[in-house]
Amino acid sequence: MWNWAKINRRNLGMLSLTLLAGTASFTALRLIPGGHVGLVVDRLGNVQPWVFESKQVVVIIPFWQRIVSMRTMPVRKRFIKEFDTKDGKKVEARLVVSVEAKMHYLPETYMKFGKDFSRSFLEREASIDCEEVCKKYSASELINDGPSYEEACTEIALRLDDAAAFHKLKIVKGETSIVFVDPNQDEDDF
């Protein structure tokens, strides 16, 4: 056995180099899934400025770069959090928002919010906006339907639209739902 390895050393070296090159070239090709776009990110977290379309094959440097696929369709996310009101009581805000990223700004969106940009956007911006709006109204004004409730919902929707425009995102019109409930009330009472 030892004599065979000594005689075929050159052949074993060529075989190992061929397998290594084949594995590296196979892992260098990546397919972007349908309904997504791809970004190339290296190990240091730097995002390349290119945006690759769905069903496109991308050549990357194996073990140094990776493909991050991001959805192009609107993503419908829920946001539920409790806030203090003007009268010191707590009210629970429940938002359902459809968020979509603008294609040309996806590298910047990924750097700010990560792959799950819609959830990160809502956690960051909706928290601030809902907190500021809830401080202006009492709990009874927000929970009961009326002009104060409508004003609060309109103001939150406008603030979210402004924040989305600033971060180069789109909020789908007509799919935003905002409800305020009493957190101490049982779910069975609804």
Instruction: Please report which confidence band the pLDDT of residue 182 belongs to, taking 50, 70 and 90 as the band edges.
Output: confident
Task: Parse the chain into domains and list their residue ranges.
Answer: 2-71, 75-189
Q: What CATH number is given for 75-189 in this structure?
A: 3.30.479.30
Name the average pLDDT for the chain.
88
Angstrom distance (rounded) from CA 130 to CA 41: 34
56-73: per-residue pLDDT in tens? 999 998 889 999 999 888
CA-wise closest residue to 39 among 23, 27, 54: 54
141-181: per-residue pLDDT in tens? 888 888 888 999 999 999 999 999 999 999 988 888 888 88
Q: Where are the beta strands (DSSP E) in the chain?
A: 29-31, 36-42, 57-59, 65-71, 75-84, 90-101, 169-171, 177-181
What per-residue confidence (pLDDT) applies to 148?
A: 87
Report yes or no on whether pTM surpasses 0.85: no
Q: Does the pLDDT at position 29 exceed 50?
A: yes
Angstrom distance (rounded) from CA 14 to CA 62: 21
Mean pLDDT over 100-128 rounds to 91
